[in-house]
Amino acid sequence: QSALTQPASVSGSPGQSITISCTGTSSDIGGYNYVSWYQQHPGKAPKLMIYDVTNRPSGVSNRFSGSKSGNTASLTISGLQAEDEADYFCSSHTSSSSWVFGGGTKLTVL
């Protein structure tokens, strides 16, 4: 059982927007602005898409955005494209000075 809770799957049509939630506790997501999101295509290494809740690394499309409210963080992808189909993982710093992940969400572009 993962420390952070994500939906197992989400889906959307090309051009639509989707949001993936990531729920933790006051000891992780709620306590720190150190939430990140990763995209992982089959057989590939994770790719950082969002860090520190809302920041995008250089080269990541501005169609990807992050937010946080209380103990829940969210990743929104707007203007869905076929290439966005992948697994997405959230991560957060914790009060024990470690890092925890969600179980992952499979995004299907219909």
Is residue 34 a contact residue for another protein (CB under 8 A)?
yes
CA–CA separation, 68 vs 54, rounded Å? 8
Is residue 76 a contact residue for another protein (CB under 8 A)?
no
The residue from 20, 29, 104, 107 that contacts another protein (CB under 8 A) is: 104
Residue closer to another protein, measured from CB, 73 or 80:
73
Q: Pull the structure tokens for residue 15.
A: 């051009």
CA–CA separation, 77 vs 49, rounded Å? 11
Amino acid identity of residue 43, one-letter, is: G
Is residue 89 a contact residue for another protein (CB under 8 A)?
yes
* Residues belonging to the chain: 110
- Positions that interact with another protein (CB under 8 A): 2, 34-36, 38, 45-48, 51-52, 55, 57, 89, 91-93, 96-104
